[in-house]
Structures are given as structure tokens and as C-alpha cells.
Structure 1
Amino acid sequence: MSESESAEELDAVTLEILRNQFEGVAEEMGQVLITSAYSPNIKERRDCSTALFDADGRLVAQAEHIPVHLGAMPAAVDAVLAKDPDPGDVWVLNDPFQGGTHLPDVTMVSPVTATDSADILGYAVSRAHHADVGGQSPGSMPAGAREIYQEGLRLPPVRLAIDGDVNDDVMDVILANVRNASERKADVRAQLAANDRAEERVRDLVAEHGRDCIESAFDAVMDYSRDRITAELDALPDGEYHARDVLEGDGQTDEDIPIEATVTVDGADVTVDFAGTADQVDGNVNAPLAVATSAVYFVVRCVTDPDIPPNQGCYDPIHVEAPDGSLLNPNAPAAVVGGNVETSQRVTDVVLAAFADAAPERVPAQGQGTMNNLVVGSRDADGFSYYETIGGGAGGRPTGDGTDGVHVGMTNTLNTPIEALEAEYPLRVERYGLREGSGGDGEHRGGLGIVRSVTVEADATVSLLTERRRHAPKGVAGGEDGQPGENRIDDESVPAKTTRDISAGTTVTVGTPGGGGHGDAADRDDEARETDRADEKV
């Protein structure tokens, strides 16, 4: 194959090979990050994401990691491109108002070159949730934050490495403003290694195929995804579809906060307009527009064909609008740490509900609708910081029961194994299991939630950022609602959003919501289901 071949001249077999090679670069980045990281949140839970972009900042390939990270990554690349990056740079950022999502998610963007002195061919991007980035409480997710300054160290796009060498001054500033600095340093180094690996692999591809071919293939994989998504969207009925739901307070008040969405399907174009959504609030559930956009991208993939390669072409026909100064497009210095984790979940629920009118056969009942964020940490200099999102019930589907005890929606992490948790932290797991009876009944039942009960064996601060504690996940088509979740500190039931200092020996229990049921329970055929299960085991 000559280097002069254009995107149109790439045959189908070569294009498929290159597409998988691009995705392999992103996946290998993720493996380097996970295996090199020190904190359990990254190495065990895999709360991180990696992707490859072209020289214009268009997404080429992403590893299938965390939905809320991946759909928002283009904003981070755009913020770095505005700084005129040079080969050999590594840019770091977490500012939600300059390409980030919330402060614990630290993003690194590295120009990728074909040779040591070549022009920029693309960008390697890694994003990881660091267990602490400073702020008023350990874990950097305070339930009562009213402005972003309380949530941690805020980094606009800044060069962490120049001409391949780490800028020690910038590193020193970061480490001086976080707890568990040695762990943070190790995780930063893991991200740097992941980005380095991407450049190595891209250079291998250039050596194999030629630079012109690689650049043509960047265009071609986007064209391929665009063609497939437009065919799927064309098959949906044109029209306007509306849905509304609420958040259960913002940490300052328990009053419901409305989120409204109008989905307009017009041929192969989809516009999601969040007009009618609440203005930005005093608490920390505000979500940058990139987070809302990420949720919309996720939903569109779910209701079309999730196997379409996710890249810029896949997202080109999707347009997202939200009023300036609203909950989903806030102005600085709004607090946002809960918006990335909890508001993104509600946006997903609302947009799915709107699409249910257009494609009811593709949309499940509501899942748990929360990430059930649990943060426990100490305030001493050599202390600890434990962060976990806890699974729950998926909604019943038009074709089957919802799954038990899984992450639903905008998160895709694993759990922290009990052995790792107890080895790393002064924590003892008292109970960890499914929450029986929490899934909504129906022809297809909702999945079960989880109970996780942990005794903290040191004085510490606990933060809980959760949802669906008052408003249960809804069943559809005659299915029953799932059970709402519950948070307890010792024997006391505590609000959905809580930060509290606790003494050694305190037990924190999180009971997560079950999924809603789908269809009338009278139509359920349990005998046939048992036969199906027996066949599957064989």
C-alpha cells in the first residue's frame, strides 16, 4: 500500500485492520495505566479511560472504559489545542470549566508524532479518577461544597512535561496540594507511561503503513462510524420526545431539582435540548456541559447500535444544548463534583425516557440511577483515602430481566475486592451481597441492588454522594418500581448527600437501589425461564 492512498482508496479489509489497531492502541494505554497505578481506585476498580485523537482533536478510537470520561474527553483536547502544544509536551488539567469534568478526574494530553522531530500526528489522552486532589474533605468529594474552590486543586491546562522532561515545579505544586502525595505521584507517573505507550504504538503503525495511510485511515474510520450511526438514526421515527425527572437535592437543600430534555429526531440528526432544566444550584450537583453531552452520547449509542465504533464520526449527528447558567451548563465557580457522578446518571435516565417514546423496544426500565459514591479518608499527613462507587440493579429489559449488582449508566468500574480493600486501608467489610427483593417485579424483573457494610477502624471523614433514596427507579409497561436505596452510619439513616467526621469503630452501610421491572408480572413465565437457564448451563 502506498503512502499516497486516500481514505476513499482504503479497501474494507485494510480499514478494518487499521480500525482495530487504533482501538488496540487505546486499549493498551489503558492496560499500562491500570497495571502501573498504585491506588486501588485505578489498579483494582479501573476508574480510568484512554483514547487516541487525530491532529485536529477529533476522537479516533477509545478503550471501552468509563462512559462519563470518554464522551467528555474532546473538550479536554480542545482546551489543550488552544494552548498550541508542541511535540514532547504533556499537558495536565482537571478544571471543569476548561475541559475537565470534576476535579478528581485528572486528564493528560500528549501530542503524538511519527518520528522524534515530526509534526504532530495526533494526541494520546488518559483520564483517571485520583482518590484525593485536596479540598475541604478527604477524597475531594465533599457533600456540602458550595463552590469549586472547596473541592480541591484546580488545574487549567498546564505543561506537566516539556520536550519530554517532567516539569518538577508543576509536579511539586500538585503534590503540595493533595493528600497521600506519594500515591498521587505514582498514579501521575502511570498516566505518563500510558501516554508514552500510545506514541510508541502509533510510531509502529506509521512504520508499518506509512504516515499518509494512517492519516487517511483516521478519516476513514470516522466516515465508517458516521455512516452507520446515520443509518440507525434514519430508522427512528421523526418527532419531538420529552421527558422530565429530578435530583434529590444538592447537598444544601433536599428540594427536588428538575432536569428536562426534549429530543428532536430529524432524519439522521438528533438534537437534545435541556431547556426547562433548573438553574445552577448552590450545591455540588452542577454538571459541565461536556458531562451532559457525554451522557447523551452514551444514550444514543444504547438505543442505536452499541457496536458502532465510538469516534468523532459516531457523534457528529448529535447536538446538545443547555441554557447558560443552568444545572447542565453552569458558570464558575459553581461546585460540580457531584454533577459528574450523580447528575450524569439522571441525565441518562431522562434522555432514555425521552427516547422510549421513539423506540420503546430498545429502552429498559430505569436502573439504579446513581453511582452510590462512598469516600472514607483521614486528615493526617500519612493517612488514607478510599473511594468506591457501588453497583445496583439494572432495569428490566423488553427481552429479559435486569442484571443484579452491576454499575448502570455512566460508570463502568469494577468493585474493590474485599481482600484488596482490607489490605490497603483500615477498613473491615462486615457485609457485601445482593439486596434481596430490591428489584421491581414484572414480566422482566429489575435487577437487585447491593448492600455493602464497612467498619472504619480509624478516626476518619466519610462522604456519601448518592441518589434514588426518595424517588425509586421506575418500572415501565406495567412493571413495578425498584426499591430506593438507603445510607446508614451505625444505626442512623443519613441523607443521600452527607459528609461527617466519624470515630474509629463506626460502621457505614450503603444499600443500593434495585432496577425497575418491565411489563406486567402476570405475563411472566418462570417455568420457561428456568428451562432457559438450564439450557445455558449445559
Structure 2
Amino acid sequence: MSDGLDAIELEIVRTQLAGVAEEMGDVLIRGAYSPNIAERRDCSTAIFAADGRLLAQAEHIPVHLGAMPDAVDAVRKRDPEPGDVFVLNDPYTGGTHLPDLTMVSPVVHGERIVAYAASRAHHADVGGMAPGSMPAGARDIFQEGLRIPPTRLVAGGEVRQDIEELVLANVRNPAERRADLRAQRAANDRGGERIADLLAEHGERLRSAFDAVIEYSRERVEGEIAALPDGRYEARDVLEGDGITDADVPIEVTVTIDGDAMDVDFAGTAEQVAGNVNAPLSVAKSAVYFVVRCVTDPDVPPNQGCYDPVTVSAPKGSLVNPEPPAAVVGGNVETSQRIADVVFAALGEAAPERVPAAGQGTMNNLVIGSPAFTYYETIGGGAGATATADGSDGIQVGMTNTENTPIEALEAAFPLRVEAYAIRRGSGGEGERDGGAGLRRSIRLEAEATVSLLTERRRHPPAGRAGGGDGATGQNRIDGERVPAKTTREVAAGTVVTILTPGGGGHGPPDGDAAGNTDSAASDDVGNG
């Protein structure tokens, strides 16, 4: 090993770097004010080398982490200096969607930048045409909220009050936003402190260890890809409309495996749409990287080396590589899920033992808000079964990894009451291994508010695999009325919003007749809810 680093020392440094990222996440979660970050943990933290390569990440949100390198690259182009902290959310300049605010801080040793600490957190509101900044009918990004290119929020160690005031003047609940931004700064500061500790311990050998950690992961992933059969694998799936029309929007992928390299091409995918399910290329790459980590050894240390053997391309102006000013808020949360589904499907022939049946394939985004409060939740559902295990019930799958908001925290923070929260029995697909069941969540509003829903798998069910049955589709209801998968409505106090989330697909033929669940197969008696 270069500079005297042996395998044991390298493993020590690797785990120390991972520990830095995890500690940053702990600081962010403990310091945040909003339930969305403090309870649901809708945030991610990571450490990068001075040249922008990912070194280590906390095990947080897949759609955040795979896209975060683009944010660091965008900041590096702005000539960061010691004492700076940059903030950004522009999906066309390193971001994902506007509610995800990213902070990037250079870590300095002497007068030289040696690393970057980065955090990304979903803020419950960043302005725009509807509370929660996730309007179903947005036709361009300007309707979705405040758009921030990489901007110095802190310069020379001092917060730029004019920039902070500009941001807070354009969001709802500015006191909550201020506290969450402060928590992100604290997380980045902790990352810088811990990298300084590692430099004091290891000296200049630490930078050699950066290279070695990345090379180790790259070699591991290259070996995993090389073990898959060479070939060209194709798949197709659809989104259920874009929030403006209900027309299916196709996503097509071709995965080519050649030796120890994998190429993922989205040629044939629909052109960008008028609604908000367009996904920036960084989001598409993040979904691809997630699938690659699932079908290779998930114990490989997650860093830039895992991504280097994989190339991702998509036509400019397409659904998964849109051009501004396309709306994108749903692309991050829903299209990312479908991208993961379609890449899994393409790799099903190459790695059949590692590819599960489809999970719920949606984040079931629910926003209830007003000028006074904003509640945001992604709701779990059924996981797809594998060849060796039933799918789990009521969990987050795919590109999200958040927790739920505990009922006690939700009711204490917002004028809302949870009337039902239960497993949706019978919603998982039947099979030799059954798919996981979805959830039912019913919430009564105690004040008038705007309700926004961005959901999927309400028309097309999550597919079973290897003869397994499909999972049940989901449903959205407002006072018992079934409403579209993507909708924004003004509602009165006393309204009940009910989300029935999809089940996961089954794996392998079930005993007896092979018949998957349908929309009516699950227990969906919700009365007026």
C-alpha cells in the first residue's frame, strides 16, 4: 500500500471516514427543528475529496446520495475559499428538486482545501404556488419554489445575513427554515472538525488513503459486474401521468454489460413533459447507482469507486434529462422510483437471483399545508418478495429510506389527527414468496389547508416476478372520494385524507392458481375516509 498504508490501516481509515459522515447526520437530525428532518430523517450527509470524489456517505436517502457529487462539482466551479459554506437547490446546477437544500463546505488544512463536507435536507417548504412546494399541477420550475444556484451563505466564517434573509423572505414558516439551515451548517462544521482530527492522526498519508479507499471499491464493483453475463438487456415501464394529464409516460432503458463495465442508456424514454415528473440526470444516475449496488455486493464501501464502472446517458430534453425551465419536483420522488424499477427489470435476466419482484414503486408523497404550517410525509408500502424471502410490510422501498412521522409528533406539531394507521392486509402479491403489504393512513384536518398528492402505482400494479402475483394498486381518497394519483386541492377543516399504499409483488408461482392481487383484493373498506 502506498505511503506505508497496509490493509488494516486502510480499513481503519475507511471506517473512520464513514463514521464522520454518520456523525454529521446525527448532528443534523438532533439539531433540526422540523419533524420532516428531526423525526422522518429526510436528510443525508457525505464527505468528498478535494477533487470532488465521494469518499464516504451515511446510510441515509439513496436519491440524495447518488446525486450529491453533482452538487459538490457545481460548488467547486465557484472557487470556494476557506470559511465558505455554499447553499444550493437548483436542479439544473447540482440539485435534485427545490425542497432539497444542499450545503457544501470546504475543509481546509493549512491554506489548502483537502476535502468537502456536504449535507442535503428536504425542507418542508421553499415557497412556490402551494404549501410544501410540491404542487401537482406545476408546469415550470418557477411555480415550485425559490431556486438557488450555488451561493455563498457563509463567507470567511460569517453568515451572510442578506442571503439568509433573501431565502427566508421567500418561504413559508421562516423560523423553521432558519433552524433547519442552522442544523445543516452545524453538521458540515462537525464534518470539518472530524476530518481535521483524522489529518492530525494520519498526516499526509490520509490523502493517499482517500485514493486507496476509492480504488478498493472500484475493483470490488468491477469484479461484481464482470461476474454477470455480458449482454444487452432492455426493459420498459410507465409513469401514470404527469400531474396535468393521466396519459402514461414511458421510460425505456438498455443496459449493456461488457466485461467489468456497465452502460445504462435511456434512449427511447419519453420527451420531457409539461408536468413535474421530469427527473434531472443527476436523479436518474442516482437511481441507477442504487440498483447497481443492490445487484452487486451491497457490503462494498459506498464511494466514487462504486460509480466509476457505470456510465449513464439519456437524450437531452427527455423525461430523465430535461432542460429548464421544466418542473421537476415529482421527478425526484416518483420518477426516480420508476427508473429504479425499470433498471431492476432490465437486469433481471443478467442477475435473476438478485433482482426482487417490484416493490410499491412510489413514495406516496402527501403534503398538507397553509401559510401557518406545512406537513410533509412519504408513506411506506409493500416491498417486493425475493427468491428466498417474503417482502416486508409497510416500509420505504427504492429511492427513499426515511422513517415515518410518529403519530404523537405529528399531532403535537400540526393541526392534524391520525384516525387510522394500519397494515393493508391482502395487498401483497401472492407467490412462493409473498409480496409485502401496503399501509392505510387516514388523517383528519383541524384547519383549512391545501392538500397535495404526488403518488404512483394507482393504475398499474407493482409486478410480480418469476410467476408471482402483482401487488395491489394504491388509492388516494379525500372524504371518501377517490382522487387522482397527482392532485392539489383546497380543503376545509374536518376533511379526512386517506392514503392506501401499494403492496409489493410476489416471487415464484403461488400454490394453486397463480392469481395476483388486484385493486379490490386488499381490505380497503375506509368508509368516509
TM-score (norm 1): 0.95
2:469 pairs with 1:461: no
Please say if residues 35 and 409 of structure 2, whose CA atoms lie closer than 8 Å, have aligned partners that are also in contact. Answer: yes
**Which residue matches 1:479?**
468
Alignment of 1:58-69 (within 5 A): 58-69=53-64
**Which residue matches 2:319?**
327
Please say if residues 443 and 523 of structure 1, whose CA atoms lie closer than 8 Å, have aligned partners that are also in contact. Answer: no
**Which residue matches 1:142?**
135
2:85 pairs with 1:87: no
CA displacement at 1:13 relative to structure 2: 0.5
Please say if residues 3 and 205 of structure 2, whose CA atoms lie closer than 8 Å, have aligned partners that are also in contact. Answer: no
2: CA distance between counterparts of 1:505 and 1:323?
47
2: CA distance between counterparts of 1:45 and 1:165?
30
CA displacement at 1:413 relative to structure 2: 0.2
2:210 pairs with 1:221: no
| Amino acid aligned to 1:334 | A
| Amino acid aligned to 2:191 | A
Alignment of 1:92-491 (within 5 A): 92-114=87-109, 117-210=110-203, 212-379=204-371, 383-491=372-480
Q: Deviations over 1:211-243 (max 9, x none)?
A: x11101100100110111111111000000000
2: CA distance between counterparts of 1:151 and 1:306?
35
Please say if residues 233 and 269 of structure 1, whose CA atoms lie closer than 8 Å, have aligned partners that are also in contact. Answer: yes
CA displacement at 1:10 relative to structure 2: 1.3
Uncovered stretches (5+) of structure 1, i.e. residues with no partner: 1-5, 525-538
Q: Deviations over 1:61-117 (max 9, x none)?
A: 000100000000010011001111101100000000000000000000000012xx4
| Amino acid aligned to 1:67 | P
2: CA distance between counterparts of 1:438 and 1:7?
54
Deviates more, 1:433-442 or 1:8-17: 8-17
CA displacement at 1:314 relative to structure 2: 1.1
TM-score (norm 2): 0.96
2: CA distance between counterparts of 1:8 and 1:495?
60
| Amino acid aligned to 1:324 | K
- What SS class does the counterpart of residue 353 from structure 2 fall into? helix
- What SS class does the counterpart of residue 507 from structure 2 fall into? coil
Uncovered stretches (5+) of structure 2, i.e. residues with no partner: 514-529
| Amino acid aligned to 1:125 | A
1: CA distance between counterparts of 2:333 and 2:368?
17
1: CA distance between counterparts of 2:336 and 2:409?
29
CA displacement at 1:396 relative to structure 2: 0.9
- What SS class does the counterpart of residue 393 from structure 2 fall into? coil
| Amino acid aligned to 1:201 | R
- What SS class does the counterpart of residue 368 from structure 2 fall into? strand
**Which residue matches 1:50?**
45
2: CA distance between counterparts of 1:222 and 1:101?
24
Q: Deviations over 1:17-62 (max 9, x none)?
A: 0000000000000000000000000000000000000000000000
2: CA distance between counterparts of 1:202 and 1:157?
23
Change (3 A) 1:180 1:519: same
CA displacement at 1:8 relative to structure 2: 6.4
Please say if residues 7 and 219 of structure 1, whose CA atoms lie closer than 8 Å, have aligned partners that are also in contact. Answer: no
Deviates more, 1:343-352 or 1:472-481: 472-481
Please say if residues 92 and 160 of structure 1, whose CA atoms lie closer than 8 Å, have aligned partners that are also in contact. Answer: yes
**Which residue matches 1:23?**
18
1: CA distance between counterparts of 2:512 and 2:490?
49
- What SS class does the counterpart of residue 522 from structure 1 fall into? coil
Please say if residues 110 and 125 of structure 1, whose CA atoms lie closer than 8 Å, have aligned partners that are also in contact. Answer: yes
Change (3 A) 1:8 1:303: farther
2: CA distance between counterparts of 1:30 and 1:481?
37
The two structures, once aligned, show a CA RMSD in angstroms of: 0.9
- What SS class does the counterpart of residue 397 from structure 2 fall into? coil
CA displacement at 1:393 relative to structure 2: 0.1
Please say if residues 132 and 385 of structure 1, whose CA atoms lie closer than 8 Å, have aligned partners that are also in contact. Answer: yes
**Which residue matches 2:523?**
none
| Amino acid aligned to 2:377 | E
CA displacement at 1:9 relative to structure 2: 3.5
CA displacement at 1:523 relative to structure 2: 8.2
| Amino acid aligned to 2:201 | E
1: CA distance between counterparts of 2:78 and 2:111?
19
| Amino acid aligned to 1:106 | L
